Structure 1
């Protein structure tokens, strides 16, 4: 804008913007009521929209059949295709508008296709904004982004950006050398939104790339991904502060003073953060490991900055603080390898041959699915003692898939032992008690004399 034409007060700014909007509105009304090519262009635009709708009805089935055949495409490409299919009328309208505009620019006066060009530009902007907005996951933020970008595209098409920018820049507060205007805040919010979206996409792509690298351990993959997130989002935060015009030196001093105070109140949080870094660096646990901590048994689903997500066999997800994994005793069933040995105890009658019992038990456990045999993982059965009513044994066997559960494999082995013992005539004793009922004093006296 020309500095000589900049209004000197907020009321003048508001008046200037209202006059600009009124002028554009009068031009729009003039376009509608004035006979000639202006009205013809409006009629052509309505006709193009009707034609686009008809084309959608005619070709939608074919497009859907073609889209179903693209099942091998990447997910992002399929999502884009779905979005285009949902806006098929707008896609046809944009295509037809630009084709007609380019043809009319060549065969007739440019003024006779000016409105068609403006509408085609707006329709293209709306289609692009609708597609880009899908990158914003939050529904509320997505709507705000859509409406803000649509309004900005409309202002550009109507040549009102300078007037609105001047008005927003005049709505400001000044604190010392700091000048905060509505225009600056809007620019900062837009920049932050774009940078956060790019940061999310970049960190997601980097995390997927790290997971595909077999040369990096799972714990180091998580550590590198978390470090990359801290760096990228920290850069976004610093860029946002700079865009708003804050002095980073003053903020550094203030943040240092605040950090000392917050540190005393967030000792547990800081302890969990440090513990999470230690866990990732020493690789004591990693995603997919099967662990036991107290009464919690399950496999690690994800490693977070503050907690570890452990999923149990019953579908429950426990969020265990990282500090508990550092200070408490943790059983990692798959730390060095995934082979797990299980012990089952049982007893048989003294009348059964212990050699036959051991052979039958080993043969029975080998028939159970998931039980390993060979390569140093053969099942064994030993006598552990002579009990009051049974000979006691321990049966030891190995599995390599603890994530599939331990209780179910124990139950299957016990069932196999039951069937095998029944087939071999081996009995499983149980304690027996004899109870005598005294009917009269005579029996009591007889017992006393005995």
Structure 2
């Protein structure tokens, strides 16, 4: 029979054959499972679990109280012990069942502890997977990876790994010269989640190290953290594809298409991304700076890849696109230093001595908290108005994040109290209306 005449098997036939093999293995497993000594081993395992449950119920409150008394411990250490405290029952069960397995191997036939050894291997693997997946921050990804790992470890320990792999390989579709199977998809998902979790952990550790380095400016710290995150997440993505056997050369065409799409449809997004990099490199603004942009006044809360978060005094958080900070006029009140000079205008009557008014105004401003005394306030006459002598009072503060309107209001109140105590009046326009007693013309009806 020639190769062309050989019968061709469809993926459905391969799937059915694999299912029949799995059913045969299941029958064999059940036949072995129903032996009398296996029931004894199951009873022993249940008794060990009950004992571990009761012992954990006594130990968990004591461990919890002990952890609450560890006030000086760092947060990461407390989290590790909290995770272990929540798994104390499983850890006790694993330790006891392995002890029982070793004792039974020494005192009886190996076949009489075979099932207990399988249960011990499963419990140990499940415990290690549960502890390892706690490193994944995303709850959905953590749950998916945990249950997938549990299922695969269970299948491997039971000796069904090859049959399951063949079954998943048989469920596939062909796209051109590429063959995409269910096994390949599951591998890609699990590897991607695991590598992204590892990249997130490394990025968090690297970001904490960068932020602790006081020799790096805040803007360069943000740039370093963003660059580290992009590199680690990108490496995790491409490494996952490479490990499952995906040809990365085909991504070159996709990258070119994405570049064309960015050039035409995502101009604003790309502009904001580039503007964000420029802002981080030229250090024009940084987290904590107090800036004014149009009608928005506040301090920078965070620098993002696309926008800058600005929090105002009334609690509002504005997300300003990076492009606006590059092309617009920005007032940075704390760019090179935190000193800010404020001006207040007021007037007094012509009957008050200007020299006395200036001294009283300077003393009043100097007595207000937040007003700097090493940069003493000054007061000058700026003009002679229609009804008052006009003055300007200038003073300095070093904490613009504390607000500007409130400090101006406090200085005005100090001036008001000082002027009233010294008999200095603040004039205001007054108008006098006189009614002339004349005969009004009569209105003819």
Q: Which residue of 1 aligns with 2:379?
A: 381
Q: Could you say what the CA RMSD is over the residues aligned between the two structures, in angstroms?
A: 2.3
Q: Deviation of residue 23 (structure 1)?
A: 4.5
Q: Which residue of 2 aligns with 1:328?
A: 328
Counterparts of 1:140-179 in structure 2 under 5 Å?
140-179=140-179
Q: Which residue of 2 aligns with 1:130?
A: 130
1:248 aligns with 2:248: yes
- Supply the distance in 2 between the matched residues of 1:152 and 1:250 (Cα, whole angstroms): 31
Tell me the secondary structure at the aligned position of residue 260 of structure 2: helix
Tell me the secondary structure at the aligned position of residue 425 of structure 1: coil
- Worse-matched range after superposition: 96-105 or 408-417: 96-105
Q: Deviations over 1:22-80 (max 9, x none)?
A: 35544564566432x31111111111111111112222221111111223333222222
**Is contact 1:20–1:160 with CA below 8 Å preserved after alignment?**
no
**Change in 2 beyond 3 A, CA 1:114/1:73:** farther
Q: Which residue of 1 aligns with 2:63?
A: 63
- Supply the distance in 2 between the matched residues of 1:66 and 1:16 (Cα, whole angstroms): 57
**Is contact 1:302–1:309 with CA below 8 Å preserved after alignment?**
yes
Q: Deviations over 1:213-238 (max 9, x none)?
A: 11111111122222222222222232
Q: Which residue of 1 aligns with 2:407?
A: 409
Structure 2 length-normalised TM: 0.91
**Is contact 1:289–1:300 with CA below 8 Å preserved after alignment?**
yes
Q: Which residue of 2 aligns with 1:288?
A: 288
**Change in 2 beyond 3 A, CA 1:111/1:244:** closer
Counterparts of 1:237-386 in structure 2 under 5 Å?
237-243=237-243, 245-374=245-374, 377-386=375-384
Structure 1 length-normalised TM: 0.90
Q: Which residue of 2 aligns with 1:429?
A: 427
**Is contact 1:80–1:131 with CA below 8 Å preserved after alignment?**
no
**Is contact 2:11–2:172 with CA below 8 Å preserved after alignment?**
no
Q: Deviations over 1:299-357 (max 9, x none)?
A: 11111111111111122111111111111100000110111111111222222222222
- Supply the distance in 2 between the matched residues of 1:408 and 1:169 (Cα, whole angstroms): 71
* Number of aligned residue pairs: 434
Q: Which residue of 2 aligns with 1:34?
A: 35
In structure 1, the gaps of 5 or more residues are 1-6, 446-450
Q: Which residue of 2 aligns with 1:234?
A: 234
- Supply the distance in 1 between the matched residues of 2:105 and 2:401 (Cα, whole angstroms): 68
1:14 aligns with 2:15: yes
Tell me the secondary structure at the aligned position of residue 277 of structure 1: helix
**Change in 2 beyond 3 A, CA 1:102/1:419:** farther
Q: Deviation of residue 265 (structure 1)?
A: 1.4
- Supply the distance in 1 between the matched residues of 2:17 and 2:77 (Cα, whole angstroms): 46
- Supply the distance in 2 between the matched residues of 1:312 and 1:42 (Cα, whole angstroms): 65
- Supply the distance in 2 between the matched residues of 1:189 and 1:287 (Cα, whole angstroms): 37
Q: Which residue of 2 aligns with 1:4?
A: none
Q: Which residue of 2 aligns with 1:448?
A: none
- Supply the distance in 2 between the matched residues of 1:228 and 1:154 (Cα, whole angstroms): 36
In structure 2, the gaps of 5 or more residues are 1-7
Tell me the secondary structure at the aligned position of residue 336 of structure 2: coil
- Worse-matched range after superposition: 426-435 or 20-29: 20-29
**Change in 2 beyond 3 A, CA 1:382/1:106:** farther
**Is contact 1:178–1:246 with CA below 8 Å preserved after alignment?**
no
- Supply the distance in 2 between the matched residues of 1:157 and 1:244 (Cα, whole angstroms): 23
**Change in 2 beyond 3 A, CA 1:105/1:379:** farther
Q: Which residue of 2 aligns with 1:396?
A: 394
Q: Deviation of residue 441 (structure 1)?
A: 4.8
**Change in 2 beyond 3 A, CA 1:398/1:170:** same
Tell me the secondary structure at the aligned position of residue 211 of structure 1: helix
- Supply the distance in 2 between the matched residues of 1:423 and 1:191 (Cα, whole angstroms): 78
- Worse-matched range after superposition: 144-153 or 322-331: 144-153
**Change in 2 beyond 3 A, CA 1:32/1:344:** same
**Is contact 1:179–1:245 with CA below 8 Å preserved after alignment?**
no
- Supply the distance in 2 between the matched residues of 1:72 and 1:17 (Cα, whole angstroms): 58
